[in-house]
Amino acid sequence: MKILLTGGAGFIGSNIVDALINLGHEVAVVDNLSSGFQKNINPQARFYQLSICDKQLSEVFKREKPEVVNHHAAQIDVRKSAEDPVADAHDNILGSLNVITNCLDFGVKRILYASSGGAVYGDVNYLPADENHPVNPISQYGVSKHAVEHYLYLYSAMYGLEYVALRYANVYGPRQSPLGEAGVVAIFSTQMLTGKQPIIFGPGDKTRDYTHVSDIVEANIRALDRGTNAVLNIGTGVETSDQTVFDTLAEVLEYKEPPIYAPVRKGEVYRICLACSKAREELGWSAQISFKEGIEKTAEYYRKLARESQSN
């Protein structure tokens, strides 16, 4: 089918584009390259360098006539959302509304939306958190990602637009950028390989649900024709601490130095992992990659990048 993917130059989006093209789908990518990289874009995809907030987005919809939109373009940094909540809302809420209204205007049947299971629930009452857990985000980013879920429900109820909202856990894997504040596996890997000491914010007991990008890709493939009008957690259901991430990477990368411990940052959830039984029911999906296996795969990717950087 014809699929338009926003954020297709980014870490997660570009991996999904590759899988869609390998399955024979026709894919167009919209990305303004603010955080993505043109080198990530599959050469078989048509590329439009454009913000999802731009009025010209309608020209892309008019030309491509997609049957499905996969919406990953977003401002993804929790710290940036706190520093500039208006810019965060502009990109994540108004930009998403621009995508959604174009879906209606140009007859798109279905939209897949990358939400955040790591951010929308806030500090949780129980673990693993399921989709019925109260939604009380403690970051502006979490608020903006959740707001779009309500718009999707509204536009489905009013106009019949099919949607699937996938609440991702903490995704890691090849192509994740080590340059921002998000993506601790990428950041720690790069720091260890370049002889720098990784920083752990807090005593190391903060937990996340680390899910390999290949599992995220599979959930998106299945959601093309399953899980209609559902909000689904996509994760492993396993808590992994910052200290465990550091220790596992240090073992795999043979890094001998200790981490630096710094004060906890505001707006960060303390503990989270996601119950994903609903995704199993709706999509027939469950995570397949264990944390250790995923770390070994990911570490090899960053080793290769480090070797290439040294040779240049």
Residues tagged active-site: 141
Task: Specify whether the CB–CB gap between 203 and 266 falls below 8 A.
Answer: no
Task: Specify whether the CB–CB gap between 56 and 97 falls below 8 A.
Answer: no
Q: CB atoms < 10 A from the CB of 131, how many?
A: 19
The span from the CA of 77 to the CA of 59, in Å, is 29
